[in-house]
Structure 1
Amino acid sequence: MTAAGNGVEPGLYDIPAELYHQDPIPGGSLSSTGIRRLADTPARFKHFLDHPEPYKPAFEFGTAAHTVILGDGPELIVVDEDLWNTKETKAKVAAIRAAGNVPLKREAKQRIDDMAEALARHSEAADIFQPGAGVAEQSAFWPDPRGVWRRVRFDWLSDGIADYKTTPSVHPDALQKTVEKWGYHVQDAFYRETAIELGLIPADGFFKFVFQEKQPPYLVQVVELDFPARAIGAEITDRAIHTYLHCMATGEWPAYGDTTTYLSLPAWAERKYIEENS
């Protein structure tokens, strides 16, 4: 990466995912994941800052799917054993991971190939990820004028942004809950603003999520969030950045509260009780 004094030049970089996740910005930067943790509670953000998440084999299926769909990523190596609990197979799998590659059972690799075929039959999704229409797995760094560096890693960058995600269901009702649960509206706002500020996409550039189910028939749904969802995401991002700067200045990373909290039932539970007992 090109250094600028003690920092990094703002811009787009083609760097390995490992370097991106290690955070190459001196003094640290904020990612979309960090923003979402801060929005939950600063204490959770600080914990993961001090104790980075360990490697989880459960992430490998998603990583492999991204590699096949986007055409960029680690080498996928099939370990053709039904059980991976023998000493020999464990050693083989560990060596593959140590080399930065992804071991897969044959069934998993076949399922990912079938997913790719299903996505290729979805006209809009196939058009988005058409080879040559964009670039995959690019990292960007931008100094937010409020005093913090942002870092993002785009799945797919063209005249807009596309993000590929596997999910249990692409039914619109399920996707509404998925977007809220995982804070994808925050990711949208964070990525979109960063890309616009760096001149990577026009001010009216799109951000589309391409969701795909992980089980047959591997249904696909392209989603673009509406203005209210994006506005909420931008507001959450803004608050999280201010929280981060305050915590950095004070050295205090509070949790939810230090005193007794009185809770009500969720509104839906109260309504259900009244309906059933009136």
Structure 2
Amino acid sequence: MLTPQSKIKSLKFMIISTFDDLRAELAATDGLMFLAPVAEDVYRAHGALSQSEIKVVAEKSPAHLRHQRRTLRAPSEAMKLGTAAHKMILEPDDFDSCYAFAPECHKRSKDEKAVWEAAKAEAKASKKKLITKEDHAAATAMRDSIFSNERVGSLLRGGVAERACFGNLLGLHGKALLDYYHPNDHAIVDLKSTKSASLKQFERDVRTYRYHWQAAWYTDLVKSITGKAPTFQIVAVENVEPYCAAIFEIKFDLLAIARWEIQQTVDLIKRCMDTGVWPGYPTEVNQLGAYKSEWEAYKRSMQESA
């Protein structure tokens, strides 16, 4: 069993930038890795199971997971802003080496399209991503909002950012990419960008995007590597004005439900791996009816008009 402190010391090496290097490191440690600085594309290319892949099966089907693993998914505009904000907030010293300003054009005319394609080619050659001035301003405002609040900002200072973990969980080789980790406290902090960081809305977001699954998967995977469960907190920052931020912690009861649901889904994934059959949606007829609130309103209306 690896202790957090000993493994941190053993991973003070250059970033793992190739898949072959990652495979070699994992082979030398029986598939276990804690807080490794792994390039994002290399991390995502590794076949260990992630919490986001488990969600795909639960929300859609095993067939969707198989398809996702075979294809490259283009990031949405919201994802691009979230990624840029992560880099600016968590790894500010690396931001300028990773991003270049996109040209200010609408890509409507032939000349504008040519300018845009030239900028894309230049950015690709220098291994950078393009960012619009609007997204840069929003990411900057999100960063300033977080660090202007001492309590929120302290959660994203004094630790290490964007570190990969690999271990064995629920009978499969799993992985997690920690946004931020505090070695002294054995604490994970996850950064989320959102339209609203209010308690009422973010509580819905936790269930909609299954953030409780992520919390359970990350803490259990780290525990399987280190022998000790870390704490897990979320810093949610709004990606629209006034860019307010808030701190959330998922309670034990919701984590217990997440673990039970994850177990059911992982069992399905293992059956698919064993049989080679990755089914899509169920074939029986799906019944679509009114929501309870709609039906109650309809009945009241009928009674009143009778």
* TM class by smaller structure: 0.7 to 0.9
Amino acid of the residue matched to residue 57 of structure 2? L
Q: Kindly, what percent of the aligned residue pairs are identical? A: 23
Cα gap change, 1:119 to 1:3, in 2 (>3 Å): closer
2:118 is matched with: 91
1:20 is matched with: 43
Q: Distance in 1 between matches of 2:226 and 2:30?
A: 20
Of 253, 261, 283, which residue of structure 2 is paired with 1:236? 261
Q: Distance in 2 between matches of 1:272 and 1:118?
A: 43
Cα deviation for residue 60 of structure 1 reads 2.1
More deviation in 165-174 or 36-45? Answer: 36-45
1:129 is matched with: 156
Q: Distance in 1 between matches of 2:125 and 2:209?
A: 29
Cα deviation for residue 269 of structure 1 reads 2.5
Matches within 5 A, 1:75-86: 75-79=98-102, 81-83=104-106, 86=112
CA contact (8 A) 2:58 2:265 kept: yes
1:34 is matched with: 53
2:70 is matched with: 50
TM-score, normalising length: structure 2: 0.80
CA deviation map 1:137-160 (0-9, x unaligned): 0011102252x1101100001121
Report the 3-state secondary structure (helix = DSSP H, G, I; strand = E; otherwise coil) of the residue aligned with 1:258. coil
2:229 corresponds to 1:197:
no
Q: Where do 4+ consecutive residues of structure 1 move more than 3 Å?
A: 5-12, 54-58, 82-85, 97-100, 274-278
Cα gap change, 1:106 to 1:185, in 2 (>3 Å): same
CA contact (8 A) 2:272 2:278 kept: yes
2:13 is matched with: none
2:145 corresponds to 1:118:
yes
Q: Which has the higher helix share?
A: 2
2:11 is matched with: none
Of 145, 151, 154, which residue of structure 1 is paired with 2:178? 154
Cα gap change, 1:6 to 1:172, in 2 (>3 Å): closer
1:4 is matched with: 27
CA contact (8 A) 1:60 1:102 kept: no
Amino acid of the residue matched to residue 31 of structure 1? S
Q: Distance in 2 between matches of 1:21 and 1:50?
A: 12
Cα gap change, 1:161 to 1:5, in 2 (>3 Å): closer
1:138 is matched with: 163
How many residues end up aligned between the 2 structures? 269
Cα deviation for residue 251 of structure 1 reads 1.6
Of 41, 47, 60, which residue of structure 1 is paired with 2:80? 60
Report the 3-state secondary structure (helix = DSSP H, G, I; strand = E; otherwise coil) of the residue aligned with 2:226. coil
Cα gap change, 1:58 to 1:171, in 2 (>3 Å): closer
CA deviation map 1:51-81 (0-9, x unaligned): 2323555532111100111026552222352
CA contact (8 A) 2:170 2:266 kept: no
Of 69, 72, 91, which residue of structure 2 is paired with 1:71? 91
Q: Distance in 1 between matches of 2:215 and 2:170?
A: 20
Report the 3-state secondary structure (helix = DSSP H, G, I; strand = E; otherwise coil) of the residue aligned with 1:262. coil
Q: Distance in 2 between matches of 1:52 and 1:6?
A: 29
Cα deviation for residue 33 of structure 1 reads 0.6
Structure 1: runs of 5+ lacking an equivalent: none
2:199 corresponds to 1:165:
no
Q: Distance in 2 between matches of 1:114 and 1:267?
A: 42
TM-score, normalising length: structure 1: 0.88
Structure 2: runs of 5+ lacking an equivalent: 1-21
Amino acid of the residue matched to residue 243 of structure 2? Y
Report the 3-state secondary structure (helix = DSSP H, G, I; strand = E; otherwise coil) of the residue aligned with 2:223. helix
Report the 3-state secondary structure (helix = DSSP H, G, I; strand = E; otherwise coil) of the residue aligned with 2:104. coil
Cα deviation for residue 118 of structure 1 reads 1.1
